[in-house]
Structure 1
Amino acid sequence: MMKKFLTGLAGCLLPLLACAQMQFDVVVYGGTPGGIAAAIQVAKMGKSVALIETTAHVGGIMTNGLGVTDIDSQQAFQNSVSVGGLALEYYRRIAKVYGRTEEFETAWRTRTKKHALWSHEPGVGEKVLMDWLSEHKVQVFTRTRLVEKRNAVSKKGTAITRIRMEGGKTFSAGVFIDATYEGDLLAAAGISTVIGRESNAQYNETLNGIRGETTHAQFKVKVDPYKIPGQPESGLIPTIQPGAIGTPGAADKHLQAYCFRAVLTPVPENRVPFRKPPGYDRNSYEIYIRYLEAGGHLLWPWVSVPNSKSDLGAWHDLSHNLYGMNVDYPGGNYATRQRVLNEHRLFTEGLFYFLANDTAVLRLAPDMQKEWASWGLAKDEFTDNGNWPHQFYVRDARRMVSDYVITEHHILKPDPTPVEDPVGVAFWPPDVHSVRRIVHEGYAYNEGFVFEPYGNWRPLPVAYRALVPRKSECTNLLTPTCPSSSHIAYGAIRLEWTFMVLGQSAATAAVMALETRVNVQDVDYGQLKARLLGQGQVLELP
């Protein structure tokens, strides 16, 4: 009897085990725009592909509030000329949804700058992406993430054979692509990565490391940083971290601030009033009161995407960019990251409530408060998350360290380092937000911002060699989102449409590696270049 029972039990378990073990030609880990472009490209080339996303929704920050991506957003330059391939097709699909195809195509054909043509609502972006994935029959696995164990990645020699997920699923493939913002698959596979700012000395750079002087988005008014003004012994008010500025150019573990790209609206029938979050503490916002008292002007919400919604960015001297509060996130475990995310959400929700309701704001800036009170969360966005974005803006986390590292020398004029194997063009200046808010010369000080759109830089051809690890570490993995680059150089690469370009290129190389049975480092660049150009990719600019 017992033997029959065990035999029957084994028969029941076999289908479950078979279902849990999945085999694909390519596995893409990370449902960011770069990951989606990679998965679609693999499918277009006739290979089987799995797209794994750790959260419940695909699209990364582009479907979580960043509806105004930086295409043709600056007076100093026109970067839409470098958008090609699947990235361009995505924005064509967005234009079709809004009934502006003819206007979009005319602007594209005539090289006319119209920044608004590239914007979209988060929900629209997610639907476009999901429909697109469905067209190509890409298998999407949401709420699926690597186990936090040493055996998360199995390798045979230098090749990954299998990755393990929480809940028991395993995925096998010939080639893997890490398209996360955090570089978790890279780290789990034993590939060299870095978190933080390198010293200027490491790559002989000038813009890396601790900034001796930060002028961009610096405080426009003097704000006393102490709980009892003028008394350092009383301690620091919230949002200010202890510590001196440090040695200019030295390395540290800080990264540019994260924030939520808040989707707000003034439309009464679609507006959810700002809520007082659990644990709301008015004292958390003391710096905003002091800023107003000193004569400063805080940000107001504004319409920037269709249907009267905001993409409330945070690049001001005092906003919801939470400098120094993300230091535990990039290398943290899942629980730590969730804590950091929750802290950012509670602070930001509380800030919006504070600006719209607090009596001190009413006294100091009545017109501003009246405007804030007329806005609220968009009722038709993020309906399964209290109308709040599911993700915040992870501007920078892990970066791969390969034999080839992109540095400021590839970007800065007058003599930038030539790139022999471009697989896309990152058309954006080195752009890193401040990393800390400290006390400097007795007042609140933002340290780390670098952004000079009129500066001495050129569009960056991104080398294929920066997408692949050292051959001694792994021979069947690529990354479009965590390329081998210094902190300051990554600031020129980290735009979502650039990730889409690099995702398509990485996927094409992955399929070529499978077809020719070579390591990803040995893909013939001449043949790769020809395929990418045939796909409409932009690899160089006049």
Structure 2
Amino acid sequence: MKNLLLYLLLLGMLSSCGGKTSEYEADIIIYGGTSAAIIAAVQAKKAGKSVIVVSPDKHLGGLSAGGLGFTDTGDKSVIGGLARDFYHRIYLHYQDSAAWKWQHQSEYGNKGQGTPAIDGDSRTMWIFEPHVAESVFEDYVQEYAIDVRRDEWLDREKGVHKNDGKIASISTLSGHRYAGKVFIDATYEGDLLAAAGVNYHVGREANSVYGEKWNGVQVGVLHHGHWFKSDISPYKIPGDTTSQLLYGVSADFPGNYGEGDHRLQAYCFRMCLSNHPENRVPFSEPDNYKADNYELLARVFDAGWRETFQKFDPVPNRKTDTNNHGPFSTDFIGMNYDYPEASYERRKEIIQEHADYQQGLMYFLSNDIRVPDDVRNEMSQWGLAKDEFVDNGHWPHQLYIREARRMIGEYVMTEHDTFSERKIDNPVGMGSYVLDSHNAQRYIKPDGFVQNEGDIGVAPKQPYQISYGSLVPKREECTNLMVPVCLSSSHIAFGSIRMEPVFMILGESVATAAVLAIDQQIPVQDVNYAELEKRLLEQNQILSLSKK
């Protein structure tokens, strides 16, 4: 009898322990592992607040550490604060001769995107290898003792717990619960804001919504060089409309100019390639490889196109940040529309589909006899960089989510703001990059030939201000959430804002505002802008052209 009672007691204790959720608490809970997430955490810690980074990612830094090393700077003079500190730390790394393993620094060339890669005057460096960027983010974590919980995925269905219009805590699929005073959604997808019941938009708004010109369907608008400049038949048997369409071509009507739609600009992986014989992993035939998926590209080559290597942008040590270029390239056009709202399982499938497509493209370019000899011979000298992404088959761990959800907050940034046509009363950072959207669809023109649609590149007149109101939800939806990545913006304005330096700038700004909201026990919408501006300027943030 005594043994039975002891057994029942132990069983009760185990049952109660097994059903208990692990709970953690901090002043600020940041969801995401992006560059904005880590910079926000650094600023929170500098301000004396406790913070937990709840990161679905194992690797920190998002695209900045995921292959996008040829930084989209725009006007680098408006990049201040901790964002500039990040690029200063990159500079310091490459000042050590030991950092130049595969080439001498003098051989590098110092080419950047509209700026020298290495800016000795300001002691910043804007171009870098992926593993170097990741090491800088990890240095921040160690230096500021940031509590990072990796591989923690928000329970998107029932994991946001709200009281009186505020998030009290969030729960992850592992069963952990994180309570805080202010929450920051620093993901590329906007999963926390959506689960919190905050309003958002996916796709392109019609031009009529915000009185814009460059939003919505842009049929007939051909910017950059990412369109078919020759008449290419999209049919398996050229010219035969009764034969099947080639892979990747949609039979759907593309829409009328300026109409809104559900389509998203294309995603791709920013590959880090190497042509150093000792640091090159040759392209291998991927699973599910189908050479005919690239027949459209073979026809582009037959038409005389020879721009394959124009976006093999150099980063140190004989490596590249390889991006999309041309009518048929690394962008997997039209294959991401369901990604923002998809389940985690479906997103994993979409990411793998993008990897299969892009790895197949590299194998095709290196091996298929339909590829011109000069292209195939040069491509065969390239491969994945052996010393990058070593735990992922040397393949980037982050898909380039160029755009997913965008919050509809207190203020919506539009092209009018990026063109400095409206006055911003509460700027928390600046942007300057071209309003840049990649193609959203590949369709059949009325003349029966194939064309891409959605690629836009329109330059702002000057660096522009980003409103604090675009970082916070509407008051009635949530009063303690801030969003520095999937911020409140139209599609085309987001095309300029969505650059990694800007995400870091906004990450610092939301953390600074969160500290004020916590100290004064007020909604994030009520943060006094004069106080916020003062702190941001003290932190060397750039808020206007006159205060650079």
Q: Which interval holds the TM-score relative to the shorter structure?
A: over 0.9
Instruction: Name 1:438's counterpart in structure 2.
Output: 443
Instruction: Name 2:121's counterpart in structure 1.
Output: none
- State the AA in 1 paired with 2:455: F
- Among 262, 273, 276, the residue aligned to 2:282: 273
- State the AA in 2 paired with 1:132: Y
Deviation at 1:132, TM superposition (A): 1.1
Q: How does 1:341-360 map to 2 (within 5 A)?
A: 341-360=351-370
Q: How does 1:202-221 map to 2 (within 5 A)?
A: 202-216=209-223, 217-221=226-230
SS at match of 2:312: coil
Measure the CA separation in 1 of the matches of 2:19 and 2:431: 43
- State the AA in 2 paired with 1:21: E
Deviations 1:468-524 (A, max 9, x none): 001100000000001111001111100001000000000000111000100000000
SS at match of 2:84: helix
Measure the CA separation in 2 of the matches of 1:332 and 1:233: 34
TM-score scaled by length of structure 1: 0.92
Note if 1:540 corresponds to 2:547.
Answer: no
Deviations 1:329-386 (A, max 9, x none): 111111111111111100100110110111121xxx2111111001111111111111
Is the contact made by 1:315 and 1:433 (CA closer than 8 Å) also made in structure 2? no
Instruction: Name 1:165's counterpart in structure 2.
Output: 172
Is the contact made by 1:475 and 1:519 (CA closer than 8 Å) also made in structure 2? yes
**Runs of 4+ with >4 A deviation:** 9-19
Deviation at 1:6, TM superposition (A): 4.9
Q: How does 1:257-336 map to 2 (within 5 A)?
A: 257-300=266-309, 302=312, 304-336=314-346
SS at match of 1:500: helix
Measure the CA separation in 1 of the matches of 2:180 and 2:18: 20
- Among 260, 264, 273, the residue aligned to 1:255: 264
Instruction: Name 1:85's counterpart in structure 2.
Output: 81
Note if 1:426 corresponds to 2:428.
Answer: no
Alignment RMSD: 1.9
Deviation at 1:2, TM superposition (A): 5.0
Q: How does 1:388-407 map to 2 (within 5 A)?
A: 388-407=395-414
- Among 39, 42, 51, the residue aligned to 1:40: 42
User: Which stretch has the larger CA shift, 210-219 or 392-401?
Assistant: 210-219
- State the AA in 2 paired with 1:426: G
Which ranges in structure 1 are unaligned for 5 or more consecutive residues? 73-78, 104-111
Deviations 1:225-279 (A, max 9, x none): 0111111221210121121231111110011110010111000111111010011
Measure the CA separation in 2 of the matches of 1:352 and 1:272: 12
Note closer, same or farther for the CA distance 1:429–1:303 as it changes in structure 2 (3 Å cut).
closer
Measure the CA separation in 1 of the matches of 2:5 and 2:468: 57
TM-score scaled by length of structure 2: 0.91
- Among 137, 142, 146, the residue aligned to 2:145: 137
Measure the CA separation in 2 of the matches of 1:70 and 1:148: 32
- State the AA in 1 paired with 2:323: G
Note closer, same or farther for the CA distance 1:500–1:17 as it changes in structure 2 (3 Å cut).
farther
Instruction: Name 1:450's counterpart in structure 2.
Output: 456
Instruction: Name 1:109's counterpart in structure 2.
Output: none
Measure the CA separation in 2 of the matches of 1:531 and 1:10: 53
Measure the CA separation in 2 of the matches of 1:482 and 1:327: 16
- State the AA in 2 paired with 1:168: G
Measure the CA separation in 2 of the matches of 1:489 and 1:230: 39
Corresponding pairs, count: 519
Deviation at 1:434, TM superposition (A): 1.2
Same amino acid, percent of matched pairs: 41
Instruction: Name 1:108's counterpart in structure 2.
Output: none
Q: How does 1:4-19 map to 2 (within 5 A)?
A: 4-8=6-10
Measure the CA separation in 1 of the matches of 2:15 and 2:92: 47
Instruction: Name 1:56's counterpart in structure 2.
Output: 58
User: Which stretch has the larger CA shift, 206-215 or 247-256?
Assistant: 206-215
Measure the CA separation in 1 of the matches of 2:93 and 2:532: 33
Measure the CA separation in 2 of the matches of 1:311 and 1:398: 26
Is the contact made by 1:94 and 1:120 (CA closer than 8 Å) also made in structure 2? yes
Measure the CA separation in 1 of the matches of 2:41 and 2:55: 12
Deviation at 1:148, TM superposition (A): 3.7
Note if 1:521 corresponds to 2:525.
Answer: yes
